[in-house]
Amino acid sequence: MLAASSVEIRKVNKHFGPFHALKDVDLVIEPGKVNCLIGPSGSGKSTLLRCINFLEEYDSGEIRIDGQLIGYEAPGKKMSGRRLREMRRSIGMVFQQFNLWPHMTARENVAEGLIRVRGMSKSEAHERAAEALTKVGLADRMTNHPARLSGGQQQRVAIARAIAMEPRLMLFDEPTSALDPELVGEVLNVMKTLAGEGMTMVVVTHEMGFAAHVADKVAFMEKGELVSVDIPDRILHHPEDARIQSFLRTYHERNNF
Ligand SMILES: Nc1ncnc2c1ncn2[C@@H]1O[C@H](COP(=O)(O)OP(=O)(O)OP(=O)(O)O)[C@@H](O)[C@H]1O
Ligand SMILES: [Mg+2]
C-alpha cells in the first residue's frame, strides 16, 4: 500500500445559487485514519465529500490534500484541468450507485481505468484487476457481467476498481444504501479491511455500527454546518449537542434499537 494522504479542510463555504450549502466547514483528517460523516438528509455531507476531490467547486476556504491546495492555484484562481487530474489520481471514490459498465466483465470494469488513465497494457491491467478483485473476495466472479452479480458484489467491483488505481485517499458516499440489507455486511467488511491497511478514508454513511466500530473520528453535519467532530463514542453514545441527540433518537426509532 502506498502512503496515505492527509486532508485539511479550512473554512470552506459553498453556495448553490442563494442556498448556503457549506458554512465555514473545518475538518482535518490524518493520514491512515477513517473519518465518517453523518447527519440528516440535505445537511451537506455529499457536497463536502465532493469538494474534497473538487467534483464540486467550493467558493471560499481551502482544501488541502497532503498540504497541496486542490482546485485552486491561489484563492480565486482555478488550477488547470491537467493539474487537477494529476491530483485526483491519488483519490478514489465509491458512490451509492456502482456505475459499472454493463457490457464489460468485472475484470474489464476494473482494468478499464488502468488502461485508459494509467496507460497500462491490457495484460498488465488484467493482472492488476485480478489482484484487486481477489482482495474484495471476487476471485471467482471475474468474468461475470454486472447483470450477473448481486448488488453487494457489484459494489465490491466498484471498490476494486477504485483500489486498483492505488489511491492514497478513498471517498465513499453511502456505499451501502442502495443494497438489500443482507448484502450490506459484505461491503462493510471489505471497507473495514481497507481501513485496517491504513488507507485514509472519508465515509458518508448511515451505518452507525460501521461508524462506531471502524471510524477513528465521526463528524456530524447539519444544515451545512459541521457541528461536531470527535471519537465515535462521544458522538454516537454521549453527544452533548442537542442536534446530534435528536438525530440519533430519530435514527434509533427508525432502526428499532
Ligand atoms: N447541484 C445542486 N444545486 C442546488 N442545490 C443543491 C445541489 N446539490 C445539492 N444541493 C442542496 O444542498 C444541500 C446539501 O445537499 P447534499 O447532497 O450535500 O446533502 P446530504 O447531506 O448528502 O444529504 P443525503 O443524506 O440526502 O444524501 C441540499 O439541500 C441540496 O438540496
Ligand atoms: Mg448525500
Over the stretch 4-35, which tens digit does the pLDDT of each residue have?
Answer: 999 999 999 999 999 999 999 999 999 999 99
Instruction: Determine the distance separating the centroid of ligand 1 and the alpha carbon of 257, expressed in angstroms.
Output: 28
For the cut 80, the answer to whether the pLDDT of residue 110 exceeds it is yes
For position 254, what pLDDT does the model report?
Answer: 85
Ligand 1 atom closest to residue 40's alpha carbon, by position in its atom list: 25
pTM of the model as a whole: 0.95
Q: Give the other-Cβ count within 10 Å of 103's Cβ.
A: 10
| Nearest of 187, 224, 170, 255 to residue 39 by alpha carbon | 224
- Gap between the Cα atoms of 51 and 64, Å rounded: 11
Instruction: Determine the distance separating the centroid of ligand 2 and the alpha carbon of 101, expressed in angstroms.
Output: 23
pLDDT digits (tens, 9 = 90+) for 183-216: 999 999 999 999 999 999 999 999 999 999 999 9
* CB-based contact 52:87 (threshold 8 Å): no
Mean pLDDT over 231-240 rounds to: 96
For position 2, what pLDDT does the model report?
Answer: 56
Q: Which residues pair with 169 in a beta bridge?
A: 91, 200
Give residue for cell 485508459: 116
| Nearest of 117, 105, 104, 7 to residue 52 by alpha carbon | 7
- Gap between the Cα atoms of 190 and 248, Å rounded: 26
Instruction: Determine the distance separating the centroid of ligand 1 and the alpha carbon of 131, expressed in angstroms.
Output: 36
For position 3, what pLDDT does the model report?
Answer: 82
* CB-based contact 187:23 (threshold 8 Å): no
Ligand 1 atom closest to residue 224's alpha carbon, by position in its atom list: 14
Q: For strand 34-38 and strand 217-222, is the pairing parallel, antiparallel, or unpaired?
A: parallel
* CB-based contact 200:6 (threshold 8 Å): yes
For ligand 1, atom 4, the nearest C-alpha belongs to: 16
* CB-based contact 34:201 (threshold 8 Å): yes
Phi-psi region of 71 (alpha: psi -120 to 50; beta: other; left: phi over 0): left
For ligand 1, atom 19, the nearest C-alpha belongs to: 42
pLDDT digits (tens, 9 = 90+) for 220-230: 999 999 999 99
Ligand 1 atom closest to residue 39's alpha carbon, by position in its atom list: 21
Ligand 1 atom closest to residue 17's alpha carbon, by position in its atom list: 4
Q: Please state the φ and ψ torsions of residue 122, each to the nearest 5 degrees.
A: -60, -45
**Mean pLDDT, the chain, integer:** 95
**Residues whose beta carbon lies within 6 Å of some atom of ligand 1:** 16, 19, 21, 39, 41-47
